[in-house]
Amino acid sequence: MVIDPGHNPGNFRHTAEINRQVDIGTNRKECDTTGTSTNGGYTEAKFTLDVARRMRELLEAQGATVKLTQDGDRPFGPCIDERARIGNEAKADAVVSLHADGSGTGNRGFHVILPGAVKAGAADTRAIVGPSRELGERIAGNFVRVTGSAPSNYVGGGTGLVTRKDLGGLNLSTVPKVFIECGNMRDSKDAAQLTSGAWRQKAARGISDGIVSFLRG
């Protein structure tokens, strides 16, 4: 399976490269973004990499073969189209893209983003919509159970699930894939969790348990 830690700590130093437009099927979008950060300066890119490494350890202990789209081992990126390609070329049974949101204060909780049905240009998600929803539902259920975090109070109508057709990482995927926004970095209560190593370990376990449950059917 493939874990995709959103953004890259080096993106801040490579703005020209990450602003380059890439084709996501439905339209063109910048290669990548810097991501957000807590008010205290803890970046989303550091958060996603930490959770990805914790997940890799947990999943490998269960016998899974795990690949990361980046492991802090490249100066920036990869671009969103390459992130999708890595999962596709690995013929991954599941791909999870890790993120944390940068929404307004008072907006709290996690949400899982599912691919909508898209057929445009290089994008055709129709075959992965069903299995991706199943993956997303299992991750959401396990995330609540392990972290005690509530589904988002600002998107998804309390379900913790949101469908989108504007994300290149989902549009270009040919294997089951979801994004998870683990919390809102701009809310002080969520930020206190996101900056805690103990909580990140729970987040890693919740997401990993959801993946394992999906893979076992």
Would you name the residues annotated as active-site residues?
181
Instruction: Give the DSSP H/E element, type plus range, for residue 162.
Output: strand 161-164
Within the chain, where are the H helices? 15-19, 44-61, 80-89, 129-147, 168-171, 188-194, 197-216
- What is the spatial distance between Cα 42 and Cα 180, in angstroms, rounded to a whole number? 18
Q: How far is CA 139 from the centre of its chain?
A: 11
Compute the distance between CA of residue 95 and CA of residue 74 in angstroms, rounded to an integer. 20
Residues 12-40: b if buried by 16+ CB within 10 A, e if exposed: eebeebbeeeeebbbeebebbbbbbbbee
β 21-23/28-30 pair status: antiparallel
The secondary structure of residue 151, as a DSSP letter, is B
From residue 208, give the alpha-carbon distance in Å to each of 83, 108, 176, 200: 19, 22, 15, 12
Please tell me whether residue 97 adopts helix, strand or coil conformation.
strand
